C-alpha cells in the first residue's frame, strides 16, 4: 500500500501539534505561505502580530511565563531578520523558543533570490542550534530534535529555516516516531557526589553564608529546594534580576536583588559574607566587578550550574557542581544541618533597617510610588513584565516577586521594546493571571504597535507607561558620569499615550498626581474588558539608587545621589 502524501508544511504542523504546540505567533510572506496554509486546517491558534520582533518577544514572554517553548513563524529575508533582536534576547536569557522561517526555494539559495537572507548564517552566533531543511522527510526528526534541544539542559532558541519547495513538496506521512540524531548533544543532570560533598564541607564551616539564586534555579524549578536549603542552614538569600521569584522576596531570609541597582542590604551582605553559593546564576557583570579579584575577596565561592562553560568563566570557584540545580540541591541538602548564623542574620537585619529602599511621595509623581502601589494593590499576585531602563530597576526593587515565573524582564540583552510584547505572550500563556507590563516611554514606543494584537485578542493586560519624557537610564549616566551633558536622551514630544491607546480601541487611564495613584490603579486593575494602558506622567529627572557604578564592587555602592563629581565608570555599560 502506498502511503498518503501530504505537503512538507502539513507534516511540519502535524509534528508541532504532536509536540503539544497550541499557539504560534507569526507574520506571513511569500516563502512562508505553504506553512500558513497548513495552519488553516490545524487546531493550533495562529496569532497575527504587527511586527516580527513583536512575535519573537511574545513567544519569549509566553515561554518564560509557562516554561513551554514559544513558537514563532515568519517569512524569509526581512521577516526573518526582524526576529534577530528577539532571538538574541532569548539566547542571552536562556529561553526556550523555536523560530520557523520561510526561505527561498533550495535551487535559488545563494543566488540573491527575492527575499533571500542567509538566516542560518545570520543567526548562527545567537542560537542554541539551527537547521536548514533540505528534505521534507527530515521534518519530523528536526521538530523532535528542536523541541528537545531548546528546552533541555541550558535552554535557548532554535531556528528552523524552511525553503518553500520543501514545505510545498509532497511527502509521505510517517507512522513511526522520529528518531533523533544528535550524538553530540548531552547535558548534565546529577552532579558528581564528590563535588557535592566538597560544597557541603565548605558550607558546614561557614559563619556568614549567602545564597545567590539565579534564573537557573528558576529554570530547574528548584523553589522548594532553595527554600529548604536556606531554612536548613539559616542563610540569607539574594537573587539576580532574572532570579526574582525563585525565592520569595517577602520571605524573612530574602534580601532581594543584588548588583548594580540591587538593594543596599543585599550588596552590604555581599561585602560581608564568608561564603557565597551561586545556584544558577552566571555572575553577570551587573553583579560582579570588572576587577574580579574585588568580588567577595574573603569569601569562599561555590558555583552550581548546568553549563560547564559557566564554571571558571567569570569567577573561579573554590568548589563547583555541574548539574541541574534542583537535582544538585536534593543531593546536597541531606549533607547539611542547621548552622549557627544568628549573629550574621542579626547583622544583615541591621542593614535592612538602616538602608531600606525608599522614595518620597511628595515633590511630584514618582515612578517608585506607582510601582509600589501596584505591588500593594495586587499583593504581588501578578505576572510583571518590564522593559529596559530606570522603570525596570524600580520595578525590580519595589515589586517584590513572590512566585517563580512571575517576573519577566530582558536581562542579558537588555532589549528595549521587550516588555509590552512579553506581557502579551505571558497573558496568552496564563489567561487567568493578572499581567502587568511596566514600560518606559522610550521602550514602549519601540513595539507599541502590538496594541492591535493585545486588543484584538481582548487580553486584559495592564500596560503601565512610566513617562518621564527622557531615555531615563541613559540620562542618569550622563548626569552622573558625563558632567550632566545630556545628549540624545530628550523625548519631549512624546505622544499622548492615552490617546494612542484609544486609537487602537484600548482603554486609557492617566495619572498625573501622587494623590491619584491608588484610585486610578485600582480602577485599571478592575478593568477586565481587554487591555488597558495607564499613562503615568512622572517627574522628569529622578534617578535610580542604590547604584554600583559599572565595573565597581559592592563597596563602591552609592546609596543616594553623589554630592561629588563622579569619574567615568570603567565597566562596559
Residue of 307, 308, 305, 259 lying closest to 281 (CA atoms):
305
Q: Cell 487591555 sits at which residue?
A: 531
260 binds ligand FAD (CB under 6 A): yes
**From the CB of residue 378, how many other CB atoms can be counted at a distance below 10 Å?**
16
Question: Nearer Cβ to ligand TPP, position 269 or 471?
Answer: 471
User: Whole-angstrom Cα distance, residue 59 to residue 47?
Assistant: 10
Binder of other proteins out of 1, 41, 111, 125 (CB under 8 A): 125
Question: Nearer Cβ to other proteins, position 220 or 386?
Answer: 220
Report the SS3 class of residue 22. coil
Question: Nearer Cβ to ligand FAD, position 16 or 257?
Answer: 257
Q: Do the bridges between strand 209-213 and strand 23-27 make them parallel or antiparallel, or are there none, so unpaired?
A: unpaired
Sign of the CA dihedral 284, 289, 292, 297?
negative
Segment interacting with other proteins (CB under 8 A) among 127-135, 205-213, 237-245, 328-336: 127-135
**Do the beta carbons of residue 449 and residue 39 sit within 8 Å?**
no
What x-and-dash track marks residues 102-121 binding other proteins by CB under 8 A? Answer: ------------------xx
Q: Which element (helix H / strand E) includes 25?
A: strand 23-27
184 binds other proteins (CB under 8 A): yes
443 binds ligand TPP (CB under 6 A): yes
128 binds other proteins (CB under 8 A): yes
Q: Which element (helix H / strand E) includes 101?
A: strand 97-103
241 binds ligand FAD (CB under 6 A): yes
**φ, ψ of residue 303 in degrees (nearest 5):** -135, 125
531 binds ligand FAD (CB under 6 A): no
Segment interacting with ligand TPP (CB under 6 A) among 51-59, 206-214, 410-418, 455-463: 410-418
**Do the beta carbons of residue 518 and residue 446 sit within 8 Å?**
no
Taking the complex as a whole, the smallest distance from the CB of residue 259 to other proteins amounts, in Å, to: 23
Binder of other proteins out of 185, 359, 481, 482 (CB under 8 A): 185
182 binds other proteins (CB under 8 A): yes
Taking the complex as a whole, the smallest distance from the CB of residue 122 to ligand TPP amounts, in Å, to: 18
Question: Nearer Cβ to other proteins, position 132 or 210?
Answer: 132
Question: Nearer Cβ to ligand FAD, position 244 or 369?
Answer: 244
Segment interacting with ligand FAD (CB under 6 A) among 52-60, 253-261, 268-276, 447-455: 253-261
Binder of ligand TPP out of 391, 400, 402, 535 (CB under 6 A): 391
Segment interacting with ligand FAD (CB under 6 A) among 74-82, 255-263, 504-512, 559-567: 255-263
Binder of ligand TPP out of 25, 62, 247, 470 (CB under 6 A): 470
409 binds ligand TPP (CB under 6 A): no
Question: Nearer Cβ to other proteins, position 75 or 130?
Answer: 130
222 binds ligand TPP (CB under 6 A): no
Question: Nearer Cβ to other proteins, position 308 or 495?
Answer: 308
5 binds other proteins (CB under 8 A): no
Residues contacting residue 423 through CB under 8 Å, at least 6 positions apart: 61, 383, 385, 408, 435, 436, 437, 454, 461, 463
User: Whole-angstrom Cα distance, residue 79 to residue 73?
Assistant: 9
Question: Nearer Cβ to ligand FAD, position 306 or 451?
Answer: 306
Taking the complex as a whole, the smallest distance from the CB of residue 61 to ligand TPP amounts, in Å, to: 16
Sheet with 383-386, strands from edge to edge, namely 407-408, 383-386, 435-440, 462-467, 532-537, 507-511
SS (H, E, C) 174-241: CCCCCCCCCCCCCCCCCCCHHHHHHHHHHHHCCCCEEEEECHHHHHCCCHHHHHHHHHHHCCCEEECC
Binder of ligand TPP out of 474, 536, 548, 550 (CB under 6 A): 474
**Do the beta carbons of residue 440 and residue 474 sit within 8 Å?**
no
Cell numbers linked to 100: 520557523
Positions annotated as catalytic residues are 52, 114-115, 164, 473
Instruction: Report the phi/psi class of residue 380: left, alpha or beta, with left for phi > 0 and alpha for psi in -120 to 50.
Output: left
Residues contacting residue 344 through CB under 8 Å, at least 6 positions apart: 207, 208, 209, 236
257 binds ligand FAD (CB under 6 A): yes
Taking the complex as a whole, the smallest distance from the CB of residue 121 to ligand TPP amounts, in Å, to: 23
546 binds ligand TPP (CB under 6 A): no
480 binds ligand TPP (CB under 6 A): no
Q: Give the one entry of ligand TPP, other proteins, ligand FAD, none that residue 470 binds, where binding means its C-beta sits below a cut-off of 5 to 8 angstroms depending on kind.
A: ligand TPP
Query: In the range 33-62, which residues lie near ligand FAD by CB under 6 A?
Result: none
240 binds ligand FAD (CB under 6 A): yes
Residue of 39, 32, 117, 36 lying closest to 75 (CA atoms):
32
Binder of ligand TPP out of 34, 472, 508, 531 (CB under 6 A): 472
User: Whole-angstrom Cα distance, residue 86 to residue 56?
Assistant: 5
**Do the beta carbons of residue 317 and residue 311 sit within 8 Å?**
yes
DSSP string, 528-546: -SS-EEEEEE--SS----S
512 binds other proteins (CB under 8 A): no
Binder of other proteins out of 132, 302, 365, 451 (CB under 8 A): 132
440 binds ligand TPP (CB under 6 A): yes
**Do the beta carbons of residue 95 and residue 413 sit within 8 Å?**
no
Question: Nearer Cβ to ligand TPP, position 372 or 441?
Answer: 441
User: Whole-angstrom Cα distance, residue 105 to residue 65?
Assistant: 36
User: Whole-angstrom Cα distance, residue 390 to residue 354?
Assistant: 24
Question: Nearer Cβ to ligand TPP, position 240 or 386?
Answer: 386
Q: Cell 573561579 sits at which residue?
A: 316
User: Whole-angstrom Cα distance, residue 120 to residue 313?
Assistant: 27
The DSSP bridge partners found for residue 302 are: 277, 319
Binding site for ligand TPP (CB under 6 A): 387-391, 414-417, 440-443, 466, 468, 470-474
Binding site for ligand FAD (CB under 6 A): 93-94, 154, 214-216, 219-220, 240-243, 257-262, 280-282, 284, 286-287, 305-307, 310, 324-325, 388, 392-393, 411-412, 414, 473
Which residues of this protein are in contact with other proteins, per CB under 8 A?
120-121, 124-125, 128-130, 132, 149, 182-185, 307-309, 312-313
Amino acid at each position: 500500500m502506498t502511503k498518503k502524501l501530504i505537503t512538507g508544511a502539513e507534516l511540519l504542523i502535524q509534528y508541532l501539534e504532536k509536540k503539544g504546540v497550541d499557539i504560534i505567533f507569526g507574520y506571513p510572506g511569500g516563502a512562508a505561505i505553504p506553512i500558513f496554509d497548513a495552519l488553516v486546517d490545524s487546531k493550533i491558534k495562529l496569532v497575527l502580530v504587527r511586527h516580527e520582533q513583536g512575535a519573537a518577544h511574545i513567544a519569549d514572554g509566553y515561554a518564560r511565563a509557562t516554561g513551554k517553548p514559544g513558537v514563532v513563524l515568519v517569512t524569509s529575508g526581512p521577516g526573518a531578520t526582524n526576529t534577530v533582536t528577539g532571538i538574541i534576547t532569548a539566547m542571552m536569557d536562556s529561553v526556550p523558543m523555536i523560530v520557523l522561517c520561510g526561505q527561498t526555494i533550495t535551487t535559488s539559495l545563494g543566488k540573491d533570490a527575492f527575499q533571500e537572507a542567509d538566516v542560518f548564517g545570520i543567526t548562527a552566533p545567537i542560537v542554541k542550534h539551527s537547521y536548514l531543511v533540505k528534505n521534507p522527510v527530515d521534518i519530523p526528526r528536526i521538530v523532535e530534535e528542536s523541541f528537545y534541544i531548546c528546552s533541555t539542559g541550558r535552554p535557548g532558541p532554535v531556528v528552523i529555516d524552511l525553503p518553500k519547495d520543501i514545505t510545498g513538496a509532497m511527502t509521505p506521512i510517517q507512522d513511526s516516531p522520529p528518531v533523533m540524531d544528535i550524538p553530540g548533544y548531552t547535558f548534565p543532570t546529577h552532579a558528581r557526589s564528590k563535588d557535592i560533598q566538597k560544597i557541603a564541607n565548605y558550607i558546614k564551616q561557614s559563619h556568614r553564608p549567602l545564597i545567590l539564586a539565579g534564573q537557573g534555579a528558576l529554570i530547574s524549578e528548584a523553589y522548594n529546594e532553595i527554600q529548604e536549603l536556606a531554612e536548613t542552614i539559616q542563610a540569607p538569600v539574594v537573587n539576580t534580576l532574572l532570579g526574582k521569584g525563585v525565592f520569595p522576596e517577602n520571605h524573612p531570609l530574602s534580601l532581594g536583588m543584588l548588583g548594580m541597582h540591587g538593594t543596599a542590604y543585599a550588596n552590604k551582605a555581599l561585602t560581608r559574607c564568608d561564603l557565597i553559593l551561586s545556584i544558577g546564576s552566571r555572575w553577570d557583570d551587573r553583579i560582579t566587578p570588572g576587577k574580579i579579584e574585588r568580588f567577595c575577596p574573603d569569601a569562599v565561592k561555590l558555583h552550581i550550574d548546568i553549563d560547564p562553560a559557566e564554571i571558571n568563566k567569570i569567577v573561579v570557584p573554590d568548589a563547583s557542581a555541574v548539574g541541574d540545580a534542583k537535582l544538585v540541591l536534593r543531593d546536597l541538602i541531606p549533607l547539611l544541618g542547621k548552622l549557627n548564623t544568628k549573629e550574621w542574620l542579626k547583622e544583615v537585619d541591621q542593614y535592612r533597617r538602616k538602608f531600606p529602599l525608599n522614595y518620597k511621595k511628595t515633590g511630584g509623581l514618582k515612578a517608585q510610588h506607582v510601582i509600589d502601589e501596584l505591588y500593594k494593590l495586587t499583593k504581588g499576585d501578578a505576572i510583571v513584565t518590564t522593559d529596559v531602563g530606570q522603570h525596570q530597576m524600580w520595578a525590580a526593587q519595589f515589586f517584590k516577586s513572590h512566585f517563580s515565573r512571575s517576573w519577566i524582564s530582558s536581562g542579558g540583552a537588555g532589549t528595549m521594546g521587550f516588555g509590552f510584547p512579553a506581557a502579551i505572550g505571558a497573558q496568552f500563556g496564563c489567561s487567568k493571571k493578572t499581567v502587568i507590563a511596566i514600560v518606559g516611554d522610550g521602550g514602549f514606543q519601540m513595539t507599541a504597535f502590538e496594541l492591535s494584537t493585545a486588543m484584538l485578542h481582548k487580553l486584559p493586560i495592564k500596560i503601565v507607561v512610566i513617562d518621564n519624557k527622557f531615555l531615563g537610564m541613559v540620562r542618569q549616566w550622563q548626569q552622573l558620569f558625563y558632567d550632566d551633558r545630556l545628549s540624545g536622551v530628550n523625548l519631549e514630544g512624546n505622544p499622548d499615550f492615552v490617546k494612542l491607546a484609544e486609537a487602537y480601541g484600548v482603554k486609557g487611564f492617566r495619572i498625573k498626581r501622587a494623590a491619584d495613584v491608588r484610585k486610578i490603579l485600582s480602577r485599571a486593575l478592575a478593568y477586565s474588558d481587554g487591555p488597558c494602558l495607564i499613562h503615568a506622567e512622572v517627574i522628569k529627572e529622578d534617578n535610580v539608587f542604590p547604584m554600583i557604578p559599572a565595573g565597581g564592587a559592592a563597596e563602591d555602592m552609592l546609596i543616594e545621589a553623589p554630592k561629588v563629581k563622579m569619574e567615568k565608570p570603567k565597566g562596559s555599560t
